[in-house]
């Protein structure tokens, strides 16, 4: 469906490509000392459309749009609804030269420190029964029009539950869930690949592999060399200091309790404080962020005055 929407309340430029509605990875300027990137912006709907349509048009995952827009019907937004496009991110901790995947937020980050750029795209991940593992690996090769070799466990499950006998090899084509392109990882049979379906990005849909929109995997194929390191984490709570404030971003599935999130928040705060950062936390704002789960960075505290003055002066 052709989307008709107007930008309102723009809080700063992100990728012109993303804002114009053209498919492609969100490209952002970045330096290694930067922990928050991008800008949030908003749309006002001119006609009814689904978040699946909007996700494909603006290159976001279905779940990201649902979380960022509580109260908006994901399948039938009303004309005039203001819709948040969550284009601002607290960067997950860890790897800063290669591909970093955070399962909790259904998002892949590709860092190019030599060019001071990063690219980020939404992803689909493994189901509850076939979860995507946490791992440190690398890209070993790439494939065009890959053949899919269903693992025996998947073939047996398909037979038991649906009475369908999957072939041992599925060639490229409309029945192949890998799409037209795939990266092979140095980890069992896991891949980063495209898709043969129009939905599933921002959802638990795969048998453990990382699924991208077809235009994103095609773009990545031209940018990412073999032997690029790949790190997969699962971090629901992210914290960062920026502009004298403590920022927090929370992502969680329905089966994650608020207590679990609060414990992860406490752990991440301790890690941050162990680096010498001293903050005054607003516990009401923390509780609000843990309850709402919008996936949007929000301020939940401030640097101690002496430290904030020191950081702003550059001393």
Which residues are CB-neighbours of 307 under 8 A, at least 6 positions away? 277, 278
pTM value is 0.88
Separation of alpha carbons 150 and 55, rounded Å? 28
Of 41, 193, 207, 251, the catalytic one is 193
Q: Which two tokens stand for residue 103?
A: 């399962």
Quick check: is 41 catalytic? no
R_g over Cα of the chain = 20
What pLDDT, on a 0 to 100 scale, did the predictor assign at position 296?
A: 97
- Tell me which of 41, 207, 209, 251 is the catalytic residue: 209
Sheet of 135-144, strand order: 26-29, 117-122, 107-112, 98-102, 229-233, 135-144, 181-185, 191-193, 210-211
In angstroms, rounded to a whole number, what is the distance separating the alpha carbons of residues 118 and 38? 10
- Structural domains of the chain sorted by starting position, each given as residue range(s) with its CATH number in brackets: 5-90 (no CATH), 123-232 (2.40.440.10), 237-313 (no CATH)
Query: What pLDDT score does 201 carry?
Result: 93
- Cα 53 to its chain centre, rounded Å, is 17
Task: State the Cα–Cα distance between residues 20 and 241, nearest whole angstrom.
Answer: 30
Token representation of residue 99: 């591909």
Q: Which residue from 54, 64, 40, 56 is spatially nearest to 4, judged by alpha carbons?
A: 54
Q: Cα–chain-centroid distance for residue 3?
A: 23
Q: Is 251 a catalytic residue?
A: no
At 200 the pLDDT is 87
The tokens for 70 are 């509580």
Query: Is there a contact between 81 and 45 (Cβ–Cβ < 8 Å)?
Result: yes
Residue 147 CA to residue 166 CA, distance in Å, equals 13
pLDDT along the chain (315 residues), means of 10: 36 37 78 92 80 90 94 89 94 95 97 93 93 96 93 85 88 91 92 88 92 95 96 96 95 88 96 92 96 96 71 53
């Amino acid at each position: 469906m052709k989307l008709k929407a107007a930008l309102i309340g723009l809080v700063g430029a992100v990728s012109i490509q993303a804002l114009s509605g053209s498919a492609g990875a969100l490209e952002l300027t970045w330096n290694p000392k930067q922990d928050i990137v991008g800008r949030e912006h908003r749309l006002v709907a001119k006609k009814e459309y689904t978040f699946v349509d909007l996700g494909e048009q603006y290159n976001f995952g279905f779940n990201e749009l649902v979380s960022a827009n509580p109260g908006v019907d994901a399948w039938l937004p009303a004309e005039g609804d203001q819709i948040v496009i969550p284009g601002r991110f607290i960067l997950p901790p860890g790897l800063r030269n290669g591909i970093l995947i955070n399962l909790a937020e259904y998002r892949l980050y590709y860092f190019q420190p030599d060019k001071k750029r990063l690219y980020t795209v939404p992803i689909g991940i493994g189901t509850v029964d076939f979860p995507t593992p946490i791992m440190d690996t690398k890209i070993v090769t790439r494939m065009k029009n890959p053949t899919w070799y269903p693992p025996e466990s998947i073939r047996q499950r398909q037979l038991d539950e649906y009475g369908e006998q999957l072939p041992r090899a599925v060639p490229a084509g409309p029945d192949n869930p890998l799409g037209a392109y795939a990266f092979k990882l140095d980890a069992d049979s896991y891949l980063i690949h495209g898709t043969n379906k129009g939905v599933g990005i921002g959802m638990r849909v795969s048998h453990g592999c990382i699924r991208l929109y077809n235009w994103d995997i095609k773009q990545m194929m031209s940018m990412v060399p073999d032997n690029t390191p790949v790190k997969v984490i699962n971090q629901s709570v992210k914290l960062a200091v920026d502009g004298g404030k403590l920022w927090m971003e929370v992502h969680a599935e329905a089966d994650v309790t608020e207590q679990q999130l609060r414990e992860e928040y406490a752990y991440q705060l301790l890690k941050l404080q162990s680096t010498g950062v001293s903050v005054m936390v607003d516990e009401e704002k923390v509780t609000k962020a843990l309850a709402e789960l919008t996936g949007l960075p929000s301020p939940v505290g401030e640097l101690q005055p002496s430290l904030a003055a020191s950081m702003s002066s550059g001393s």
